[in-house]
Chains A and B, each alone.
Chain A
Amino acid sequence: MTINTLAKGSWHREQMSCFRKMEKVIVAMQDPDMGIKMRNQRLLITVIPHAMTGHDIIAWLIKTYSICEEEALHLSGLLVRYGYIYPLKEPRSLVLRPDESPYRFQTPYFWTSNRWPASELDYAIYLAKKNIRKQGELMEYEKTRYSLLNKRINHTWDFVVMQAREQLRASKQRRKADRIVLECQEQAYWLINRPPPGVHSVLDMGLERPNNSAGVTLIETSRKALGRNRVKSSICLESFVKYSEQYQNHDPIMQGSLPSNPWISDDTTYWTMNSEMVTIPTRLRVERWSFSFMELLNDDMGRREFMTYLEKEFSAENLCFWQACEDIKHGESSRVIEKVEMIYKNFLAPGAARWVNIDSKTMDKTLEGIRNPHRFVMDDAQMHIYFLMKKDSYPRYLKSDLYKNMLAKAIVPQETKKSVFPFVRRQRHASPSPAQAVTQATEEDGHAKGGGQAGTNSAAAH
């Protein structure tokens, strides 16, 4: 559409090899001694030379290349379908009939080429010419394409119409026979390059070749599937059951939330007690820190506690490094590079203020990656430090006094009691907390058992 499509690429693109071979065959046919016998085509008044019958073409192919008739038929069919020879009697049916039907060679300018594919502009000019020449001459599909092109390249439509007129005036300078030939050539060219709907376009190479790639893709998908990690479902279920057991007491639905579920009672104490900046955390929260290292790190308060502990142990730079890497991974794109530089300066450079201890292989890889910094360049180092902390500092933290004191200090909030006056708006329980139901049930059981015994005792006494 624009000039830019005619970039240098098309100048250097190679002509497809099948086209070059067909061109050689065509050139060989031109030889006056060894070539094809030419006849004259007789129209009503005019005589146009250089026509050949399908039968002659087949005979020549058989003779020149010593092939059988079937192959000659196939080859000549290809020549017609790719537009090197066009039929004169039925221009829209691009087949080679091995009888007396006449054919003619296409001029080299209109030979099929992948270096200079037919452009929309050319097609628009051709359709405009056809339209100007005779009003009703466009076929239905040509009319739709013409109006589509008019919409698509409307900005250059003046040019299209003017160029069409000029080309028609130029062709008027020639004699009638030549004009007929030129029109047939152009028509044949466009039947190949813009085939009518429903006709297979020979220039359409398709998405992929089905025979080869089906096997290839199958091999690829199988290989990928083999490489995937697999876990036995029994092991998976075991770990799931363990997880559920561990977290059962911490689940608000299963265990209820103390002091009360804010969604039900409109009392936001639960949230305020579990917020970040609270001085005394809840017991459940502190217990969760001992479940996994990630739980500890995800909780801001836990992270601060851990940092305090590490500062005592003089290994706080690990956690700082880990935090900085997280910041890169989840932070702004524009600042990634400067953040990486800062990390290098603070943590990785030899003699840095807070130098982290990474093994040499990872260090080399990271330093290499810092040359082209991106979001995930610190991943390996971060992983190394994470596992270092998890294996080393974290278990010691859990055994440390700091943690134990925190656990002792942690409070268990009281369940808010139902008010004596039943219609006070403040404590509207839709249903009692399941925690309370469990304790009540155990109490009732105790009472019932005691009552039963007392009853039997008294019955026995009587």
Chain B
Amino acid sequence: MPLVNNKVGDDCTVGPEKALVDGKAQVDSLIKVVACHRHLASCVGGCTDSLQLRDELRRTREKALTLAGSICHHLTSHLRNKSLPEGQRKEMELLWVAFSSSLELLHVDLCKVFNISDIFSLANTVALVQTGLQGGGSEVAARALSLPDLNLAPNPTLPAGLESQERSTMEQEISHMDHMIEDMEMKVNVMRWMVEPHGPHGPQGAEALSSSDSASLAMFSVDEEQPGPPPPCQRSRISVLLLLVAVVLVAATLSVCIIFFT
């Protein structure tokens, strides 16, 4: 495959299929990191907010930004390559759309965290909102950073300049993201509405992951409105089962008694 444009860079020499696979892996990883970051961000300002959480948040954020930078470079160079075959281009555009959506989510999360850490400073832990959470997010951060577990020993006292330093770093990172987003829009012209996803469409497509999570809200069971016929049927089914079991037990004990006394 001839080198089209010197400015495009080394990625052109790599085979397009490999580039696609690489890009897909990176985008998947970014989606995972963004999800974990959002999870951690939702704990900021709450009672589980601590230096450790902020540290984990920072590390996740850095990982997300490095991933985003490399994906941006990778996808931009491939999408500006005019000799890309049509099928490959469609796949690349799909990745592009997923990438820009994850950037959108990440940007909102960064802004929100920046804003909340404005209101809630760790120096004043009594003001943190008591949200009812108890555990930390270390496992989530470990998942984001793809490490088996996080061994952290954060210093118990808060250094004076750390928070302001972190705020300025965050501000820089947010503006860096803004520039990256603008650059993306300028350099690559992808018409988002023309992109066709090839996953399952619609509400019917997504299958249930596992039922263990459903039990969590079902335990609450204070939804006065019935979402549909299934829940009361399930409850009545359980009670009927219990009744049957009780009847069988009673019958068994009675028969045992009869056998013993006759």
Contact = CB atoms under 8 A, between A and B. Distances in A.
Contact of A170 (B39, B108, B197): B39
B148 to A, nearest CB: 13
A332 to B, nearest CB: 33
B261 interface: no
A10 B43 CA distance: 22
Interface string B193-220: 1111111111101111101011011011
A175 interface: yes
A170 B35 contact: yes
Nearest to A152: B193
Nearest to B194: A155
A11 B112 CA distance: 10
Contacts of B44: 108-109
Contact of A168 (B174, B181, B203, B213): B213
Contact of B39 (A51, A90, A159, A171): A171
Interface residues of A, number: 87
A105 interface: yes
- Among A31, A113, A166, A169, the one with the most B-chain Cβ atoms within 10 Å of its Cβ is A166
A116 B129 contact: no
Contacts of B55: none
Interface residues of B, number: 84
A137 B227 contact: yes
A261 interface: no
Interface in A116-143: 116, 119, 121-122, 128, 131-139, 143
B97 to A, nearest CB: 5
B202 A49 contact: no
B16 to A, nearest CB: 20
A163 B131 contact: no
Contact of A175 (B134, B192, B209, B225): B134
Interface in B9-63: 28, 31-32, 34-36, 38-39, 41-47
- Among B41, B131, B198, the one with the most A-chain Cβ atoms within 10 Å of its Cβ is B131
Secondary structure of the A side of the interface? helix
B135 interface: yes
A2 B101 CA distance: 7
B107 interface: yes
A3 B28 CA distance: 19
Contact of A121 (B105, B137, B203, B224): B105
B133 interface: yes
A11 B178 CA distance: 10
A154 interface: yes
A180 B41 contact: no
Interface in B61-107: 94, 97-98, 100-105, 107
Nearest to A196: B225
B166 interface: no
Given A105-B130, A108-B44, A128 B216 contact: no
A121 B34 CA distance: 14
A26 B222 contact: no
A49 B132 contact: yes
A108 B45 contact: yes
Interface stretch (B115-123, B236-244, B248-256): B115-123
Nearest to B35: A166
A16 interface: no
B105 A170 contact: no
B184 interface: yes
Nearest to A108: B45
Contact of B119 (A27, A133, A135): A27
Contact of A158 (B34, B98, B128, B211): B98
B197 A154 contact: yes
B242 to A, nearest CB: 16
Given A131-B203, A138-B203, A3 B126 contact: no
A179 interface: yes
Nearest to B117: A108
Secondary structure of the B side of the interface? helix
A122 B128 CA distance: 26
- Among B34, B42, B230, the one with the most A-chain Cβ atoms within 10 Å of its Cβ is B42
Given A50-B131, A107-B131, A176 B216 contact: yes
A2 B34 contact: no
B129 A26 contact: yes
A139 B226 CA distance: 9
A177 interface: yes
A195 to B, nearest CB: 14
A8 interface: yes
A150 B219 contact: no
A166 B199 contact: no
Contact of B192 (A155, A163, A170): A155
Contacts of B130: 30, 38, 49-50, 105
A182 B40 CA distance: 11
Given A131-B206, A133-B208, A170 B193 contact: no
A18 B103 CA distance: 30
B202 A122 contact: no
Contacts of A166: 31-32, 34-36
A231 interface: no
A285 B201 CA distance: 75
A92 B196 contact: no
A53 interface: no
A318 interface: no
A350 interface: no
Interface string A19-40: 0000100110011100000100
B119 A108 contact: yes
B155 to A, nearest CB: 24
Nearest to A150: B202
Question: Which 3 pairs of residues, A with B, have the shortest CB-CB distance?
Answer: A108-B45, A166-B35, A173-B139
26 contacts: A11-B178, A38-B130, A50-B132, A93-B224, A105-B130, A108-B44, A109-B112, A115-B111, A115-B115, A131-B206, A132-B208, A133-B209, A134-B213, A135-B208, A136-B228, A138-B203, A139-B225, A150-B203, A155-B97, A155-B196, A163-B34, A166-B32, A166-B36, A169-B143, A173-B140, A175-B135
Given A3-B104, A147-B203, A169-B35, 17 more contacts: A6-B107, A10-B111, A11-B178, A30-B128, A46-B219, A50-B130, A105-B132, A116-B108, A116-B112, A133-B208, A136-B228, A154-B196, A168-B213, A171-B140, A175-B134, A178-B133, A180-B220
